[in-house]
Structure 1
């Protein structure tokens, strides 16, 4: 999974996302989505997220699409300036990864075993998915992401930010969740709320 973050004029963001979706899908992306950050140090920035079968496919497509006149014209009109580009590996996904908002929870894990992660995903799904907190979530290990390299980015797709925060608060006193979190040595470092385009 790749994340391209840009600053610029977002007045035509819906049209630009459709352009990116068309061009990247034609190059093999299985998913193309866009969001605008509502919190954090890059508030107001746009993030394009794309899903690929391999990093090689991602980088080849990125080079081709960014070289197309149609994309260059759209970026120039939006005065788009790149802020960051990051690549991660999806380790787990539960529920329906669609919603009006996303909450990206940046975390670390000192003991990220497969068994431990599955226990944590099970507990997270029970607490949050389908009960008003979130529709689904993805867990992404960042493999080339500057200072975030090695971190886990847990992306929660929701139609209610309040609902997510309420569900997340319940995890603090949930024994199964806390046991699973302790097993993988999980710690939360940041949360970023974004609006899906």
Structure 2
């Protein structure tokens, strides 16, 4: 199986690569359209700020490529947020894969949310074998509200989408590569889709 982690200068790509290796697979880091297109599975990571990350995608043409991929694609954290319509972070226009806008947490909660939280209302094979209220690791100041594409929910002052799915596209607000055994199972589930 060929696994490509999109390398566009806005990701914690090494920790994802190591997590994939622990599962017994090798992943390639790439920003080359042909290589990404030929992959069996694509992981779209993201750490950083939305407007500068989308600028990097546009400069490399990946903003046109990603929404047209046909294989399973997993967006992680900022990667998931960039797959949404828009983000309040930098007033950023996203890739429009998930039909929801990303909002900033209100001032009533401490931002960023850093640390462990729980996921519930799990839908999709991405969460096969994962129990309700399992703990996952998050670092974020912005969130995707609940919508018709929500496949996991978390709560931080309000309920929000911890996971999204549309066709062959999946997104997790949390970092599966940092979420211990639960995260490894979710990554394994993704690779088995």
TM-score bracket relative to the smaller structure: 0.3 to 0.5
Tell me which of the two structures has the higher relative contact order, counting C-alpha pairs closer than 8 angstroms and 6 or more residues apart.
1
TM-score by length of 2: 0.33
TM-score by length of 1: 0.32
- Relative to its length, the structure with more helix (as a share) is 1
Larger Rg: 1
